[in-house]
Chain A
Amino acid sequence: MKIKLFYFARLKESLKYSTEDLELSEADGPWTILKLKALLSKRGDVWGQMLMGKLKVRAAINHELVHDNAAIADGDEVAFFPPVTGG
């Protein structure tokens, strides 16, 4: 299945990615946020530090904040970002 990924703020800067299209193997499913983080962390040290390290990371699926165990479906827009600091 295909998903669209977005990264924001410190993650975007450190990973040097703002967006990407990703193909997830159906055979390895079902996919959750935690499983996706684990997959992306294999790309290298900075990925592991940013997604599975000490820094807090929040995730959204289709513009809704979700927890690590949230399920990802085909066509979803998934985003990773640090805790928010607006206002």
Chain B
Amino acid sequence: MTVRVQTEDFDAGFEIDQLRRARRDVGAVVSFIGQVRDINEGDEVSQLTLEHYPGMTEKSLDAIISQAKTRWNIMDVLIIHRVGTLQPCDQIVLVAVSGGHRGEAFAACAFVMDYLKTEAPFWKKELTQSGERWVEAKTSDDEARERWDKTQEKTPK
């Protein structure tokens, strides 16, 4: 497993390729890329600044990957999350999961993102025309995570 928290951009194509080529028994790679939007809560967003808790953030992401590996038959997981100041259309996060087959890789990738959004210590502050504001946590993100907690099944209903 690989976890990287960095200010620099990343080459998603290269990273996914590395994961895919790492083993000859990989049959599927599922990936998610998060991007900075130019709008939030109806307001134009011109800049996003991400803060994290060095040490805890990495540990928390490691723990999320370990949980995913326990729950699904997957091979490897990569998480890259950017911090610092970003602009609309910049990439924020990459999660990529490799496995033998697509089903478990799809589920594990969604699980990692749902947990990352609710457990990993990152905070977003956005710049709008009326100034800077901290982004509020969404209850829909909590609900997305809770559906995994409610069942031990591999795909929540």
Contacts and interface: CB of A to CB of B under 8 A. Distances in A.
A8 B118 CA distance: 16
Contact of B92 (A9, A56, A79, A87): A87
B55 A85 contact: no
B56 A86 contact: no
Could you tell me the dominant secondary structure of chain B's interface residues? Answer: mixed
Interface string A1-29: 00000101110000000000000000000
A48 interface: no
A31 to B, nearest CB: 20
Q: Which of B53, B92, B93, B117 has the most CB of A within 10 A?
A: B53
B50 interface: yes
Q: Which of A6, A9, A56, A81 has the most CB of B within 10 A?
A: A9
B113 A6 contact: no
A66 to B, nearest CB: 12
B100 interface: no
Interface in A19-48: none
A8 B116 CA distance: 17
Contacts of B60: 63
A87 B113 contact: yes
22 contacts: A8-B123, A9-B123, A9-B125, A60-B53, A60-B56, A60-B121, A63-B55, A63-B56, A63-B60, A79-B53, A81-B123, A82-B134, A83-B136, A85-B122, A85-B124, A85-B137, A86-B81, A86-B92, A86-B117, A86-B122, A86-B124, A87-B113
